[in-house]
Amino acid sequence: MSLLSIVWLVVTIAGVASIARATVVVQQRAEIQTHADSIALAAANYGDTIAREFADSLNVEVVSVLRDTTTVTVRIRANQQSAVASAFQPM
């Protein structure tokens, strides 16, 4: 095997490893955002207590729940990442 082939093989392996790691990070981020969306909907429809119980079942920490007249905004943290989501409150 020539030196050029070895270098090309190393570069290819490093590229594949980088893509695999990026895919994992994106998937984790999407999961945490989905949790935030679900918890915001639970808070809007069922109240803060139910939303916090739901967050506990998902193993995420609710950092804050902010309400105004029409929306509830939830900030969560899990796996060293955070996410924010808002949902309209039923009238």
Q: Where are the beta strands (DSSP E) in 32-80?
A: 61-67, 71-78
Token pair for 46: 């069922």
In this prediction, residue 25 carries a pLDDT of 87
Provide the 3-class DSSP secondary structure of residue 87. strand
Contact assessment for residue 38 and residue 50, using Cβ atoms and an 8 Å cutoff: no
What is the DSSP-derived secondary structure letter of residue 90?
P
Q: How many CB atoms lie within 10 A of CB 23?
A: 10
In the sheet that 81-88 helps form, which strands lie side by side, from edge to edge?
61-67, 71-78, 81-88
Domain coordinates in residue numbering, the chain: 3-88
pLDDT at 39: 97
Q: pLDDT per residue over 48-57, tens digit each? A: 999 999 999 9
